[in-house]
């Protein structure tokens, strides 16, 4: 049997030429991006768009000046979108292992620098395996943000990828990424099917195993931002997958010292100032933390830290101390963290 990485390189380098060649809708983005992201997407070269195989929107807020790494950057669509938001002083580095994808990404570096009116490009692409990030001369603690779009499912050693990500992030930095998850563990014979694996289905982690992998890597409190059920749209593939349900989910994982494994109540609260670009009326930290401008909202210790110990700090007023613990923060549960319907509502608080 061929090694999985070779199969994936062949799938994305030879089998697929454009997004329409995909056999299912797993590597398709079902969400409609907000206007400011649509405007940035409109400036990306058509050839880059045509080879986009992502499953979510990996553009968080507050990006000016950040240093970003994209794992499995493909033809570079997300890198070129983020390039616009970090500005000329920011930097975006994409890593991919497939030559054909890197060729398209590299071919349009100057085109995008011109389009964004930059003196020189702030985007570069590196050939490499995201399961060996340590071999790429990337400095530990040097990235503000690491993104990835429909790639981690294709990795055979997901634990290692997330541990390396943790190591590469600055304190207060975050991994913000979209990927495919399943509602149960996937049998080995399905994992050995190159089409199911290549289509980002059979490498998907059972969501509860993903939470374990993330926590084990140091990301104590993974937050789900958006989720959509995947409908597959291919009878033969659906037949093979049987009862397994798949979801495309965007998670944010903060690297913050002191996050706890449960949401704890210290009597703290915060109020959003309305000052984050494109979020004048309200700010969503994740799919269950919505902060309307000016409203004082009680938060658990972890949420307090995610806003206080990160690039979001200046956009909030913070109330309370760590002096008194009032018990577990009300409202947190342990059920499946994303819905099985298409409302996008989460099943529990944290």
Could you tell me which of 28, 17, 162 has the C-alpha nearest to residue 75?
17
Neighbours of 29 (CB within 10 A): 21
CB of 182 to ligand SAM, least distance (A): 16
Output the smallest distance, CB 196 to ligand SAM, in A.
13
Q: How far is the CB of 289 from ligand SAM (least distance, A)?
A: 26
CB count within 10 Å of CB 309 equals 17
Task: Using the structure block, give the residue that is written with the tokens 């997901």.
Answer: 158
Residue 23 in the binding site for ligand SAM (CB under 6 A): no
The answer to the question of residue 179 lying near ligand SAM (CB under 6 A) is no
Residue 154 found at the interface with ligand SAM (CB under 6 A): yes
DSSP track, 178-226: EEEEESSPPPHHHHT-HHHHHTTSTTPEEHHHHHHHHHHTT--S-EEEE
Identify the residue among 7, 40, 41, 54 touching ligand SAM (CB under 6 A): 54
The smaller minimum CB distance to ligand SAM, of residues 18 and 236, is found at 18
Least Å distance between CB 348 and ligand SAM? 29
Of the candidates 93, 97, 217, 225, which one interacts with ligand SAM according to CB under 6 A? 97
Question: Dihedrals φ, ψ of 299, to 5°?
Answer: -135, 155
Beta carbon of residue 339, minimum distance to ligand SAM (angstroms, whole number): 24
For 12, which DSSP code?
A: I
Nearer to ligand SAM by Cβ, of 97 and 214: the residue is 97
Q: Any contact of residue 28 with ligand SAM (CB under 6 A)?
A: no
205-206 and 143-149: which strand pairing?
unpaired
Candidates 7, 23, 24, 27; binder of ligand SAM (CB under 6 A) is 27
β-strands 316-319, 268-272 pairing: antiparallel
Question: 317, 313, 319: which is closest to 62 by C-alpha?
Answer: 313
Is the separation of the CB atoms in 164 and 140 below 8 Å?
no
Question: Do residues 14 and 20 make contact, with C-beta atoms less than 8 angstroms apart?
Answer: no
* Pick from 162, 178, 130, 148: nearest CA to 26: 178
Non-local CB neighbours of 270 within 8 Å, separated by 6+ positions: 291, 296, 297, 299, 303, 304, 307, 308, 316, 317, 318, 319
Q: Report the residue from 24, 83, 84, 98 that binds ligand SAM according to the rule CB under 6 A.
A: 98
Q: Which residue's CB is nearer to ligand SAM, number 4 or number 273? A: 4
**Whole-angstrom distance, CA of residue 313 vs CA of residue 116:** 28
Query: Which of these ranges, 108-116, 123-131, 202-210, 312-320, lies near ligand SAM under the rule CB under 6 A?
Result: 123-131
53 binds ligand SAM (CB under 6 A): yes
Specify which residues 229 forms β-bridges with: 247
- The least CB distance from residue 68 to ligand SAM, in Å, is 13
Residue 96 binding ligand SAM, by CB under 6 A? yes
Q: Which stretch binds ligand SAM (CB under 6 A): 38-46, 74-82, 213-221, 315-323?
A: 74-82
Could you say which residues in the range 260-279 bind ligand SAM, by CB under 6 A?
none
Q: Is position 101 an interface residue for ligand SAM (rule: CB under 6 A)?
A: yes
Whether the CA torsion 226, 231, 236, 242 is positive or negative: it is positive
User: Residue 219 interacts with ligand SAM (CB under 6 A)?
Assistant: no
Contact residues: ligand SAM, CB under 6 A: 5, 8, 12, 27, 52-54, 72-74, 77-78, 95-98, 101, 129-131, 149-151, 154-155, 200
């Amino acid at each position: 049997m061929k090694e999985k990485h070779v199969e994936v390189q062949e799938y994305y380098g030879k089998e697929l030429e454009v997004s329409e060649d995909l056999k299912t809708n797993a590597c398709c983005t079902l969400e409609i991006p907000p206007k400011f992201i649509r405007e940035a997407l409109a400036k990306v070269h058509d050839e880059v768009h045509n080879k986009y195989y992502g499953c979510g929107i990996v553009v968080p807020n507050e990006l000016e000046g950040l240093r970003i790494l994209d794992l499995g950057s493909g033809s570079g669509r997300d890198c070129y979108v983020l390039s616009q938001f970090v500005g000329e002083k920011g930097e975006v580095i994409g890593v991919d292992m497939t030559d054909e994808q890197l060729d398209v990404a590299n071919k349009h570096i100057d085109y995008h620098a011109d389009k964004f009116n930059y003196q020189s490009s702030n985007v570069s692409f590196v050939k490499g395996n995201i399961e060996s990030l340590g071999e790429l001369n990337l400095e530990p603690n040097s990235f503000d943000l690491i993104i990835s779009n429909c790639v981690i499912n294709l990795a055979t050693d997901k634990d290692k990828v997330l541990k390396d990500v943790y190591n590469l992030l600055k304190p207060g930095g975050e991994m913000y990424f979209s990927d495919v998850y399943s509602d149960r563990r996937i049998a080995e014979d399905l994992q050995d099917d190159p089409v199911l694996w290549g289509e980002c289905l059979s490498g998907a982690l059972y969501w509860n195993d993903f939470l374990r992998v993330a926590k084990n890597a140091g990301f104590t409190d993974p937050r789900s931002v958006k989720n959509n059920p995947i409908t597959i749209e291919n009878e033969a593939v659906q037949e093979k997958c049987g009862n397994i349900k798949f979801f495309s989910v965007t998670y944010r994982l903060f690297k913050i010292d002191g996050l706890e494994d449960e949401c704890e109540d210290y009597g703290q609260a915060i109020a959003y100032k309305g000052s984050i670009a494109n979020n004048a009326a309200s700010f969503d930290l994740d799919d269950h933390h919505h902060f309307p401008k000016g409203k004082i909202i009680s938060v658990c210790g972890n949420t307090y830290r995610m806003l206080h110990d990160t690039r979001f700090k200046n956009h909030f007023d913070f109330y309370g101390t760590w002096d008194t613990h009032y018990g577990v923060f009300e409202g947190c549960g342990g059920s499946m963290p994303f819905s099985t319907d298409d409302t996008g509502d989460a099943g529990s608080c944290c």
